[in-house]
Amino acid sequence: MQEALPKACRVVICGAGIIGNSIAYHLVRRGWTDVLVLEKGRVGCGASWRSSNMVGQLSPTVEGITARSSVLLYQQLHESGHDIGWNQCGSLYVARTQKRMVSLLRLAAEAKARGVECIVQQPRALKSCHPYIRTEDLAGGVFVPSDGIVNSMALCQTLAMLAEEGGAKYIERCSVHAVVAENGSVAAVDTSLGRVQCENFVLAGGMWSRELAQASQPKFAVPIHAAKQSYGITQPVEGIPESVPVLRDYDGRMYCHKHGNSFLVGGYEETAKPLFTYDVPDKFEFLRLAPDYTQYKEAVGRRCIPPHPLQSEWRTARSLRCSPLFPILEEHGAVTGERMGFERALYFQHGIPISGVGRPTPDSSFGCPDWLDNVREEYTACRERVGVSDMSSFSKFYLEVSVLFHFKWRVPNVHEKHHSM
C-alpha cells in the first residue's frame, strides 16, 4: 500500500478512516480511478478503530438514507466472502416514556418510507426480543431487524483493498500540511513527501481537519472539535446468543451490544468533554485514552430541593440577570425561562406559587402543551388590542447616520419593526 507520490491526480483524499476509505471505494466503483488517498499513519488508525461498531437506520432522513446504503453494502461484502465482522442482529430501540414512544414511532414511519422494516413492540413483547433487559418500566419499543454490528477496522481494510484493486493509490506515513487554492478552486496539496497537483480534494481527516484548514492557503473554516466518548466492556457472560440485538435506550442515554462473549456498554453524553483543546497530537495511532471517571454519572443520581422541577433549568443559577420589570411580571403570573443568564417571561399563568426565581419552566411534550391556552390568550390580546413586551434581554445596536456613511454602508429605504409574537 506504499507507492511513490504522484505529481498530479484527479482526486486527493486526506484520511484513510472509515469515511475516506468509503469515498475512495465508491469513486472507484463509479469509474474515477485517478484517486490518491493520503494517510499520516496507517489505514484506520485514528478514530475509526475505536468505533462502537453499531449500524442503525432509525435516524432522521439524511442520516437514515446513508445508514440504509451502508447496510446494503455490508450485506453485499459479507455475502461476497469478505470478513468484516458483519452480524445482522438487529436493533431494539426502547422507550421509558410515552413521549419517547411517540418519537420512536415517528422515526419508524420515516424509516419505513425508505424501505426499512420496523416492528413496533409492546412492553410485554420486549423480553422475547432481548432476554437481558427488564421491561417493567418501559412503554414499548421499535425493533429494526436489518440493523447490525460491523468490525470497523476490518471494514476499513476491506474498503481500502477493494479501492486499490479498482485503481486508487494509497500512501501511508504521508501527512497533508496544507491545501493550496487558486481562483477559488483547489489547485494542489502540500504533503510531507512533496506537492501534488489535483482537481478535487476531499477532507476526511477527522479531528485533524480543523488544524489542516487553518494551515491552508487561504485558510478556511472547519467547525469541528474532538470530544471524549467512553464505553466499557463487561466481564464474560456465558451463553450470549449471536442474535441478541443492539439495545438503544435514548431516555437512559446508553447503548449496549454483544462484544465477543461480553457486552459493550456506552453512553450518549449530555455534555461531551472536549479532547485536545489546544493541539491534536501529530501521532495518535491505535492509542486509547486513560479512564476519566469524572465524566461518569453517579449511580445514586441527584435531587433538587422542592419545589424546583427535575429539568434542565436547575443546573443554571437563576435570577442572575433580571430586568427592572421582573418583579412586576412575577406579580402578574410570569412563567420564566433563562437565556444567557437573563430571565425572560415565556407566558403568564396565575395560581402557581412563586418560588423566588419565577415560576417553573414547563416540560416539553409531543402533544398539546399545558400552556397552549395561556399563549393563545396572549396572542389574541396582542393581535386585537395592544401588547407590551419587555425587550431588556435583547441586544441593542445604536447606528448613527454619519457612521453609516463614513463606512459607506448601504442603508435600504425600508423600516423594520421587531414583533415578538
User: Taking Cα atoms as reference points, which of 275, 299, 363 lies closest to residue 46?
Assistant: 275
Question: Do 186 and 319 fall within a single domain?
Answer: no
Q: Which three cell numbers stand for residue 390?
A: 419587555
- CATH code: domain of residue 241: 3.30.9.10
The 10 Å Cβ neighbour count of residue 376 is: 11
- Report whether 385 contacts 370 (CB < 8 A): no
User: Residue 37: which domain range?
Assistant: 8-53+152-215
Instruction: Give pLDDT, residue 405.
Output: 58
Instruction: Give pLDDT, residue 273.
Output: 81
Instruction: Give pLDDT, residue 310.
Output: 45
DSSP 381-414: HHHHS------TTS------HHHHHHTT----S-
Q: How many domains does the chain have?
A: 3
**Is residue 17 domain-resident?**
yes
Instruction: Give pLDDT, residue 230.
Output: 80
Question: Do 321 and 386 fall within a single domain?
Answer: yes
- Report whether 348 contacts 334 (CB < 8 A): yes
Q: How far is CA 123 from CA 137, 148, 198, 211, in A?
A: 9, 22, 56, 48
Query: pTM value?
Result: 0.73
Question: Do 158 and 141 fall within a single domain?
Answer: no
Question: Do 141 and 232 fall within a single domain?
Answer: yes
Rounded to 5°, the CA angle 306-307-308 comes to 90
**Is residue 1 domain-resident?**
no
Instruction: Give pLDDT, residue 244.
Output: 96
Whole-number Å distance between alpha carbons of 420 and 184: 41
- CATH code: domain of residue 349: 3.30.1360.120
Whole-number Å distance between alpha carbons of 217 and 189: 10
Whole-number Å distance between alpha carbons of 77 and 86: 9
**Is residue 406 domain-resident?**
no
**Is residue 414 domain-resident?**
no
- Report whether 90 contacts 246 (CB < 8 A): yes
Alpha-carbon Rg for the chain in angstroms: 27
3-state secondary structure of 56: coil
Instruction: Give pLDDT, residue 297.
Output: 63
**Is residue 137 domain-resident?**
yes
**Is residue 405 domain-resident?**
no
- Report whether 101 contacts 140 (CB < 8 A): yes
**Is residue 3 domain-resident?**
no
Question: Do 169 and 276 fall within a single domain?
Answer: no
Question: Do 319 and 382 fall within a single domain?
Answer: yes
Question: Do 157 and 295 fall within a single domain?
Answer: no
Q: Which three cell numbers stand for residue 164?
A: 486499490
pLDDT, averaged in runs of 10, over the chain (421 residues): 83 95 97 95 84 90 89 96 96 95 94 95 93 94 97 95 96 93 93 95 91 88 83 91 95 93 88 78 70 64 48 60 88 83 85 55 71 90 90 79 57 49 41
Q: Taking the mean position of all CA atoms in its chain, how far away is CA 95?
A: 20
Question: Do 117 and 163 fall within a single domain?
Answer: no
